[in-house]
A and B are shown apart, each in its own frame.
Chain A
Amino acid sequence: MGFFSKFRKKSPWILHYNTGGCNGCDIEILSALAPRYDIERFGMLNRGNPKQADILLVTGPVTKNCKDVLRRLYLEMAEPKVVVAMGACAHGGGIFRNFYHVENGVNNIIPVDVWIPGCAPRVEALIDGMVEAVEIWEKKSKEKEFLKDHENVIKTLGVEDDG
């Protein structure tokens, strides 16, 4: 924790990724950027670029096609980073649970720090979740973070991560 860590909470940049949900949560996220809620007054921006983002905001039950993309987005983000799962689908599948094409939630692929429940969550709930994510983010260090089953992922994907 250096001098600059104090300013972290002032500018969390968001990367939003929809992993095959119904788009309801995404409309709420866009509404948070609009004049009524104006999330930019807390310095939050929707960057759309994993290399420059700090908070990964995931919606939807992770479909099989999205699985590798989601993992890659998580690995491309520079530490410190936080993952926020938004909506009922992201919490273990929602109405898509145990379908043949879903992975039953974000937590089966990448570690989640904050959960925002609801279908779809209200914008107030989203902002509350973001505040909580920023609080967690402030305490994180710059150390490299790994996936939960890091060795297995490397074995199945066949790629080495140079750390």
Chain B
Amino acid sequence: MINVILTVLAPLIGGVVYGIERVVKARMQKRVGPPLLQPFYDFFKLMDKRPIMIHSLHALMGIMYFIAEWFALAVLLLGNDLLIAVFFHVIAVLALVIGASSVRSPYSVLGALRELMHMISYEPLMVLMVVALYLVVGSFDIRDVLNYEGYPILEIPLVFFAFLLTIPMMLQKSPFDVAEAHQEIIGGPEIEYSGPFYEALYTGKWIEYIYVFTFVFLFGGSHYWLGILLVVLAFLFINLLDNSSARLDFRTMVKFAWSVLIPMAALNVILLALWQ
């Protein structure tokens, strides 16, 4: 029941999460920060702008990103294959990349290429994480993971740690926010969207929060208190990292993902398979 509610109300809950994040970020910088419902005020404001689009495919791909993101979350939460949910997430990012590379703005095209670099960095790790969960639980089904009696975090701690450092890549946070570098390429793929079409991207990002933190929650197994604790710790860690680090080069990001994170997760998976 709770997964249906979470799926249907994903934009609302994601918006609240984003609002909390903005307040937490402001408090970490000793500021007061915006009100908690600020993302929704932005949403309503963008609704009221004059719609301007570059061309119809570009606008369609923005909306497609939102729908595919929501669909991936639905596949994840409504008790399906974890692996399929990972692949549907790829479709969402691809829609963003196609839309961004179909316009003439160099920042947009550069952002699209960097978004592909993001995908190269985190998608193998997502698949490895799902494989690790399969080795622990014995099933790709999310219901079996949530009914697992043991503690997945204790059996695959390195995979969890690798995933924790992958979250900044997925949520576009510093030090790995190369695709959406606001001071450098001013939003990257989202630069040419305006008004109601930008809203689709803005809201799609909120859904991504729920998508990512659901995966964090899975590491608690059937112990929901542990899952919630992990989600809160991951949330605070990501914000702390976001506030205290500068942006890295995209080469550094890909190198870090392929030479540190993926071997670390793979080592954990291999050791677990040998031990079993």
- Which of B62-70, B193-201, B242-250 lines the interface with chain A? B193-201
Given contacts A78-B194, A79-B50, contact A38 B26 (CB under 8 A): yes
Given contacts A35-B31, A40-B26, contact A10 B49 (CB under 8 A): no
Given contacts A38-B31, A43-B34, contact A4 B192 (CB under 8 A): no
Tell me the nearest residue of chain A to B29, going by C-beta: A35
Complex CA–CA separation, A56 to B192 (angstroms): 17
Residue interface mask B49-86, A partner, CB < 8 A = 1: 11110000000000000000000000000000000000
* Contact (Cβ within 8 A) B32 A11: no
Complex CA–CA separation, A149 to B220 (angstroms): 65
For residue A13, which residues in chain B have a CB less than 8 angstroms away from its CB? 42
* Contact (Cβ within 8 A) A11 B48: no
Decide if A41 is an interface residue (CB 8 Å cutoff). Answer: yes
Residue interface mask A8-31, B partner, CB < 8 A = 1: 101111000000000000000000
Decide if B186 is an interface residue (CB 8 Å cutoff). Answer: yes
Tell me the nearest residue of chain B to A3, going by C-beta: B44
Given contacts A51-B193, A79-B50, contact A43 B42 (CB under 8 A): yes
* Contact (Cβ within 8 A) B194 A40: no
For residue A40, which residues in chain B have a CB less than 8 angstroms away from its CB? 22, 26, 31, 33-34
Interface centre among B26, B29, B38 (most CB of A within 10 A): B38
Decide if B182 is an interface residue (CB 8 Å cutoff). Answer: yes
Complex CA–CA separation, A12 to B30 (angstroms): 22
Interface centre among B32, B34, B42, B187 (most CB of A within 10 A): B34
Tell me the nearest residue of chain B to A12, going by C-beta: B45
Interface residues on B, range: 20 to 34
* Contact (Cβ within 8 A) A80 B49: yes
Decide if A98 is an interface residue (CB 8 Å cutoff). Answer: no
For residue B164, which residues in chain A have a CB less than 8 angstroms away from its CB? none
* Contact (Cβ within 8 A) B47 A78: no
Give residues 3-42 of B contacting A (CB, 8 Å).
22, 26, 29-35, 38, 41-42
Decide if A158 is an interface residue (CB 8 Å cutoff). Answer: no
For residue B32, which residues in chain A have a CB less than 8 angstroms away from its CB? 38, 41
CB A110 to nearest CB in B, in angstroms, measures: 17
* Contact (Cβ within 8 A) A142 B38: no
Contact of A78 among B33, B34, B41, B52 (CB under 8 A): B52
* Contact (Cβ within 8 A) B49 A78: yes
14 more contacts with CB within 8 A, not counting A2-B48, A41-B26, are A4-B48, A7-B45, A10-B35, A10-B38, A10-B45, A38-B32, A38-B33, A48-B182, A51-B191, A54-B45, A80-B48, A142-B50, A143-B50, A144-B50
Q: Which residues of A contact B (CB under 8 A)?
A: 2, 4-8, 10-13, 35, 38, 40-43, 48-49, 51-52, 54, 78-80, 142-144
Q: What are 16 A-B contacts with C-beta separation under 8 Å?
A: A7-B45, A8-B45, A10-B38, A11-B45, A40-B33, A43-B42, A49-B186, A49-B191, A51-B194, A51-B198, A52-B194, A54-B45, A54-B49, A78-B195, A79-B50, A80-B49
Q: Which residues of B contact A (CB under 8 A)?
A: 22, 26, 29-35, 38, 41-42, 44-52, 182-183, 186-187, 191-195, 198
The 10 A-B pairs at the shortest CB distance, nearest first, are namely A51-B194, A10-B41, A7-B44, A4-B48, A38-B31, A79-B50, A11-B42, A4-B44, A11-B41, A4-B47
